[in-house]
């Protein structure tokens, strides 16, 4: 079955007389048993924190999405990144984290892993096979994100995985950008693929959710056990909404992908723009890697404006009428942010101008382009 068919037909209750087409979100803390003998069985779910039927159906769908062995669900995308890291480390270990990682993942490593006596070293996302030179005896995890947050570098994932596997190091990737639809890191040997399902799978900017898809049953147990011991649990209503998102994601993804590409290509020739950071554009420095490993692109990209004042940047963003000013992407509505205040990079040169990130929603691409053009007219 192709993805479109799977996303329509899998993780649904068996058809019966008058059954609903989707599982319902059953609210539960207590689960009841018929017999006292069953209370402490390990092979059945005993308590609401351990999930419900709709959680199982959603986890199965994520596992199917990337061909993993199992999925652990989380109440946010950030938790879907931090728990798998935590599952793989102990005091005295060393973690390699891409410079292009989502900022709060960096904060988690620098603040909380540090507190536990685990050192995090930031590496250049474009390091490729040379990552081997950074792997130490105590390196436990290499964390990747491709393309990177805000600056959209593509990593040479197969080369990094090869070096990691040679030294028995676990690889974890933040795969939110591709939604697992146009990039399959597990097939390249990555151990855990993390998703902020808040984005495309939520799809409507009204739910926070995360999923970590594990390549083997052993990795799945490791992540599942730490999540269970730390009290991880997510709302059945949120799980229901994310499963609902699967049903329509391909159509939404394709529309948003096409809009982003059209607008990015137009912006690349715009006199007010110095550079567009979208890996599907031929002029992107990692375009060849993107072409080799990806089968499509997302709704989100950044532009570096020609040098201008901070005031101009704010005026431009405030001048947008269709793009909301707000964080996130993958929802039905377009968004824009100024990236510079949150941009932290240890390995790349300072950008030549202000960085703005656009996320395209489901509006008409021509209307979005016209909106950007009219906002450009508001600045010098």
Ligand X SMILES: Cc1ncc(COP(=O)(O)O)c(C=O)c1O
Which residues of the shown chain bind ligand X in the complex (CB under 6 A)? 76-78, 81, 102, 149, 174, 176, 196, 198, 208, 210, 328
Adjacent-strand bridge partners of 97: 122, 143
Query: CA neighbours within 13 Å on the CB side: how many for 81?
Result: 25
| Strand spans (E) along 91-156 | 94-98, 119-123, 139-145
Distances (CA, A) of 213 to 66, 110, 169, 172, 261: 7, 24, 17, 10, 28
Tokens of 253: 């993804």
Residue 209 falls in the annotated catalytic set? no
Comparison of 174 and 286: residue with beta carbon closer to ligand X: 174
- What stretch of H or E contains 72? strand 70-74
Residue 102 falls in the annotated catalytic set? yes
Task: Tell me the closest approach of the beta carbon of residue 8 to ligand X, in angstroms.
Answer: 25
Task: Tell me the closest approach of the beta carbon of residue 372 to ligand X, in angstroms.
Answer: 21
d(CA 67, CA 79): 21
Q: Are 138 and 92 in contact (CB under 8 A)?
A: yes
Catalytic residue among 199, 215, 224, 272: 199
Residue 199 falls in the annotated catalytic set? yes
Catalytic residue among 99, 174, 238, 286: 174
Ramachandran angles phi, psi of 72, nearest 5°: -110, 135
Comparison of 210 and 331: residue with beta carbon closer to ligand X: 210
- Supply the angle between the helices 365-376 and 310-319 in degrees, to the nearest 10: 140
Task: Tell me the closest approach of the beta carbon of residue 210 to ligand X, in angstroms.
Answer: 6
In the complex, residue closest to ligand X by CB: 77
Comparison of 7 and 209: residue with beta carbon closer to ligand X: 209
Comparison of 176 and 275: residue with beta carbon closer to ligand X: 176
Residue 49 falls in the annotated catalytic set? yes
Cβ neighbours around 291 below 10 Å, total: 13
Q: Are 61 and 276 in contact (CB under 8 A)?
A: no
- Sequence-distant (6+) residues with CB within 8 A of 359 are 299, 300, 328, 329, 330, 331, 334, 335, 336
Q: What secondary structure letter does DSSP report for 196?
A: E
Comparison of 180 and 210: residue with beta carbon closer to ligand X: 210
CA 294, 197, 329 angle in degrees (round to 5)?
A: 75
Comparison of 101 and 272: residue with beta carbon closer to ligand X: 101
Comparison of 77 and 180: residue with beta carbon closer to ligand X: 77
Q: Are 114 and 94 in contact (CB under 8 A)?
A: no
Q: Are 152 and 284 in contact (CB under 8 A)?
A: yes
Q: Which residues are catalytic?
A: 49, 102, 174, 199
């Amino acid at each position: 079955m192709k993805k479109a068919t799977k996303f329509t037909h899998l993780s649904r209750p068996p058809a019966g007389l008058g059954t609903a087409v989707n599982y319902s979100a059953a609210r539960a803390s207590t689960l009841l048993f018929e017999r006292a003998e069953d209370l402490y069985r390990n092979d059945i779910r005993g308590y609401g924190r351990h999930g419900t039927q709709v959680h199982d159906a959603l986890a199965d769908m994520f596992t199917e999405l990337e061909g993993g062995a199992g999925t652990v669900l989380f109440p946010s995308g950030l938790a879907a990144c931090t728990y798998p890291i935590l599952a793989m480390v102990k005091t005295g270990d060393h973690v390699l984290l891409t410079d292009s990682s989502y900022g709060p993942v960096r904060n988690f490593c620098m603040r909380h892993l540090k507190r536990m006596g685990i050192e995090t070293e930031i590496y250049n996302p474009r390091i490729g096979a040379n990552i081997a030179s950074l792997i130490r005896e105590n390196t436990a995890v290499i964390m990747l994100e491709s393309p990177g947050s805000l600056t959209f570098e593509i990593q040479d994932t197969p080369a990094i995985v090869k070096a990691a596997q040679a030294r028995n190091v676990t690889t974890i990737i933040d795969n939110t950008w591709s939604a697992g639809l146009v990039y399959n890191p597990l097939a390249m040997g990555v151990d855990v693929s993390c998703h902020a399902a808040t984005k495309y799978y939520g799809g409507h900017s009204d739910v926070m959710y995360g999923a970590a898809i594990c390549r083997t049953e052993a990795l799945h147990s490791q992540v599942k056990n730490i999540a269970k011991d730390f009290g991880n649990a997510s709302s059945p209503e949120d799980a229901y909404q994310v499963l609902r998102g699967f049903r329509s994601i391909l159509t939404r993804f394709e529309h948003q992908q096409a809009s982003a590409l059209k607008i990015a290509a137009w912006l690349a020739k715009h006199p007010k723009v110095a550079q567009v950071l979208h890996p599907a554009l031929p002029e992107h420095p990692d375009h060849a890697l993107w072409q080799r490993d990806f089968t499509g692109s997302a709704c989100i990209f950044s532009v570096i404006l020609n040098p201008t004042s901070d005031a101009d940047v704010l005026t431009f963003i405030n001048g947008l009428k269709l793009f909301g000013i707000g964080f996130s992407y993958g929802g039905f509505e377009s968004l824009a942010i100024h990236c510079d205040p949150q941009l932290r990079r240890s390995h790349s040169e300072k950008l030549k101008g202000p960085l703005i990130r656009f996320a395209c929603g489901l509006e008409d691409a021509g209307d979005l382009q016209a909106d950007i053009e009219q906002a450009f007219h508001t600045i010098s």
